[in-house]
A and B are shown apart, each in its own frame.
Chain A
């Protein structure tokens, strides 16, 4: 009886349940992050936990929607679906100033364009070399190498399969985590010690959590400069990758 009532609660209030579950995942992940002295890795760790839970859910149900295939966690599918994801991403543009884009200046703009296309084609070439032949899959994985948002946005727009979208998210997460780890160690060698190079760095790497985490571990004073250009990166990627990027990729690999 108790079990039935609990299941009924989770299935009736599925979206509310999803908020609670995600809050719990993030509470544990951020707790773990600060316990190992890497507070800024909290978001990256939460995402990895999400992917692990999706793996467990997929193994358990044999379905394609990870945790959301388990009846009581169905709300995760709604909260993490395309509708809420796009709604939230668009809102992050709020606060970005056109003047700030101008202030970042020529190197900022160049680094944004080079950063998006370099990551896209680096990811695309690797995907092609490792056996992906469909331009939609190649563009989606390349999008993931841009950021873990651009990958699924591209994949959803172009109609890629869920496993390729998951792969593109994993690619973006690898980039984000790796950025946080590598940056402080090679900051001196790439002369990452002034606002201009921080803006260029933000524009080239673009994954907001990776850039903020990497710069914070290098020199906290540089964080706003890197974040300034990185703010535009995911938006620019979401605009360019499924459109011009895909057309170029279809031309080369199609």
Chain B
């Protein structure tokens, strides 16, 4: 059933966020440190484990998860619509330079790291 998919993601979220908050307390940061990443890892581990055991999630359960993931971009759109953009614009040049440098630099690194891969394969 679809609701099982939503429930599975909910469980991963609570466990991941629990771990993240414990780490947060341990490193002295208020809030959640990497909880979303732990939850994603947990979801990957659980679904891959079930696949390996030959008992993959039912179609309905999968659809529940896919419904959520298909809402990812719409939720990001809603998220962007409730940000404090007016204040952000006062420092807007940061966004353009930081985003630009990260993009151009990242693209320039492609041939460098591809080379590591091809050397390894040869």
What is A's interface to B at a CB cutoff of 8 Å?
18-19, 22-23, 25-26, 43, 46-55, 57-59, 64-68, 73, 76-77, 79-81, 84-98, 105-107, 110-111, 114-115, 118-119, 122-123, 126-127, 130-132, 141-142, 144-146, 148-149, 152-153, 156-159, 161-167, 169-175, 178-179, 182-183, 186, 190-192, 196-197, 200-201, 203-206, 209-210, 235-240, 242-243, 246-247
Contact = CB atoms under 8 A, between A and B. Distances in A.
Given A90-B9, A90-B12, A94-B62, A182 B36 contact: no
Given A94-B62, A107-B116, A240-B37, A175 B81 contact: no
A238 B76 CA distance: 15
Q: Which 8 A-B pairs have the closest CB atoms?
A: A239-B37, A174-B99, A107-B117, A163-B87, A80-B78, A50-B80, A166-B83, A80-B79
8 contacts: A58-B86, A88-B71, A94-B66, A114-B109, A132-B94, A163-B88, A174-B100, A239-B34
A204 B87 contact: no
A61 B30 CA distance: 30
Contacts of B92: 167, 170
A14 B40 CA distance: 29
Given A47-B77, A80-B79, A192-B110, A66 B85 contact: yes
Interface in B25-51: 27, 29-41, 43-45, 47-48, 51
Given A52-B85, A110-B116, 8 more contacts: A19-B74, A80-B78, A86-B35, A90-B12, A94-B9, A166-B83, A166-B88, A192-B110
B103 A175 contact: yes
Contact of A92 (B69, B74, B93, B103): B69
A53 B78 CA distance: 10
Given A106-B117, A141-B98, A22 B74 contact: yes
B43 A90 contact: yes
Contacts of B68: 87-88, 91
A130 B78 contact: no
Contact of A93 (B40, B85, B86, B98): B40
Given A50-B80, A235-B37, A175 B27 contact: no
Interface residues of B, dominant DSSP: helix
A79 B40 CA distance: 20
A144 B113 contact: no
Contacts of B27: 243, 247
Contact of A159 (B31, B43, B69): B31
B79 A172 contact: no
A68 B79 contact: no
B113 to A, nearest CB: 5
A132 B88 CA distance: 13
A59 B71 CA distance: 28
B78 A64 contact: no
Contacts of B34: 157, 238-240, 242-243
Interface string B106-120: 111111011011101
A181 to B, nearest CB: 9
B3 interface: no
